Amino acid sequence: MPRTSRVKSNTGVYHVMLRGINQQTIFEDDEDNEKYLEVLELCKTLSGFELYSYCLMGNHIHLLLKTINEDLDLIFKRIGARYVYWYNWKYKRTGHLFQDRFRSEPVNDDEYFLTVLRYIHQNPVKAKLCKNPDEYKWSSYKEYIDKNHNTGIVDTAFAINMTGLVELIMYTNMISADNCLEYTERKFLPTDAEAKALMIELCKCNTSEVAEGFSAQQRDEYIRVLGNNDISVRQLSRISGISKGIIEKTLSN
């Protein structure tokens, strides 16, 4: 099936969302988040785009940016190549990290710009990772409200000049039902015991047999079955003894 063309923005401003392949985690720790922001800053210089907002959410990313010198595909080719190379080196894995192409939507007026900005900064709150946007470490909201945290990577003046800083802070913290490139995370099984029970039910075997008692072909078949039934990569690796690299490679094929 041919890919559909991206909808072009009249202003050059886009809301972009990327997620991990098979919804896997793409930021395991603080170092991963820091590395992505380092890559983002470098590519901002190389590609010449303006960045208005970001939020790194474990297994997906939201960005609000304006293209100037290069189009989105080239920008994210630059970012992806650098981050995935580093991530694969760190975790001794191979293959893709991000799911298909990134998703994007045009932002063609000031009203929707502010809506997307609020949506991105409220993402951790809606995911119940914090109570208020300013409590989340890996979003650009702190760059708007605290001069000591302003790294220069985010072009804060554009949004502040629209409304004023006080009004922008009030707007960001309003209760909202914004829905912008909405991404609903799968709910993985909450306990290893439940995951093991599902493995026995679906594969008719215990956890150690999946790793050691079957051929590679049969093992991979069971990995696909379990990966499609709400068991995360990390959880499946933990209860079966199969490496994350093998599981990720099997699920991406």
Residue 241's nearest CA partner among 214, 183, 48, 102 is 214
Q: What does the pLDDT read at residue 182? A: 67
Q: What does the pLDDT read at residue 9? A: 92
Q: What does the pLDDT read at residue 150? A: 67
Rounded-to-integer distance, Cα 204 and Cα 79, Å? 43
> Parallel, antiparallel, or unpaired: how do β-strands 13-19 and 60-66 relate?
antiparallel
Contact 180, 116 (CB under 8 A): yes
DSSP 102: P
Phi, psi of 150 (to 5 degrees): -80, 110
**35: enclosing H helix or E strand:** helix 30-47
Both structure tokens of 185: 């995370």
Task: Divide the 253 residues of the chain into consecutive groups of 10 and give the mean pLDDT of each group.
Answer: 70 93 84 95 95 94 96 93 92 82 90 96 91 94 82 90 95 87 56 75 66 72 71 78 80 69
Query: 89: Cβ–Cβ under 8 A, 6 or more apart, which residues?
Result: none
Q: What does the pLDDT read at residue 1? A: 39
Residue 49's nearest CA partner among 77, 22, 72, 68 is 68
